Amino acid sequence: MIDTVIFDMDGLLVDSEPLWGVAMQEVFATVGVNLSPELTHLTTGLRTKEVVSYWHNYYKWEGKSAEQVVNEIIDSVIHKIIAEGHPMEGLSYILQYFREKGFKMGLASSSPLRLINAVLEHLKIKDAFQAVYSAEFEEYGKPHPAVYLACAKALGSDPLDCIAFEDSVTGMTAAKAARMTTVVVPEAHNRHDPRYALANMKLDSLLEFNDAKLSLLMK
């Protein structure tokens, strides 16, 4: 019986993906790496250290360690989210919807925990979740299912009883690998990616989710 919902964060609950893109472009530029928006989209859903490792292996810059670049990106994103981060359309609605249904609620993100906490404080939604997990502390990040499995375990839920909400192909793959029923809410520019066919349901907005949609997932 499905009784648990686990949310991704970036790009799903908070409009942070553009801010991640700008932060990465600015910090990578300090080591002579110029990333276009198209290139930053290639690593959406990965942990920050994996993104930096990916580009460091490709460009092999000098002057700053990969760890320093990781920390500068995270610091920049936190600053930008606090200054201009907005909740995604339907955030309050979807949290209230599942709260009223009596669902256990968790968050499973690729972002480091200090950034997750900054976002939850900024949006004033920290109390909505009974478990908050970062892939930062897992051996493998998304698309590996580890962070979803850890969050489900903390909630005392069988993965088969969980609905996962995601916005990226990487995150969707992680949730499906965890054997969770998966709902995707992709960014508009990415909505027609055929890989989203793997999800159990695709929405244009969190506001589209309702009792009829929940009934379809529970069949």
91 and 192 together in one domain? yes
25 and 104 together in one domain? no
Task: Give pTM, 2 decimals.
Answer: 0.90
Q: Which of 202, 149, 177, 171 is nearest to 4 (CA)?
A: 149
In angstroms, the CA 190 to CA 11 distance is: 12
Q: How confident is the model at residue 43 (pLDDT cuts 50, 70, 90)?
A: confident
Give the domain range for residue 65.
Answer: 17-84
| Among 10, 127, 158, 211, the one annotated catalytic | 10
Domain boundary residue, one of 84, 106, 127: 84
113 and 76 together in one domain? no
Q: Is 10 a catalytic residue?
A: yes
| Among 3, 8, 15, 193, the one annotated catalytic | 8
79 and 106 together in one domain? no
Q: What is the pLDDT of residues 86-144, one digit of tens each?
A: 999 999 999 999 999 999 999 999 999 999 999 999 999 999 999 999 999 999 999 99
Q: Is 193 a catalytic residue?
A: no
110 and 151 together in one domain? yes
Domain boundary residue, one of 26, 59, 84: 84
Contacts of 112 (CB under 8 A, 6+ apart): 47, 48, 74, 134, 136
143 and 118 together in one domain? yes
Q: In what order do the strands lie in the sheet with 181-184?
A: 131-134, 104-109, 4-7, 162-166, 181-184, 201-202
Contacts of 109 (CB under 8 A, 6+ apart): 8, 9, 10, 116, 133, 134, 135, 147
146 and 192 together in one domain? yes
146 and 110 together in one domain? yes
CATH number at residue 8: 3.40.50.1000
**Plot region of 183 (φ>0 → left; ψ -120 to 50 → alpha; else → beta):** beta
Q: What is the pLDDT of residues 144-188, one digit of tens each?
A: 999 999 999 999 999 999 999 999 999 999 999 999 999 999 988
Domain boundary residue, one of 56, 84, 112: 84
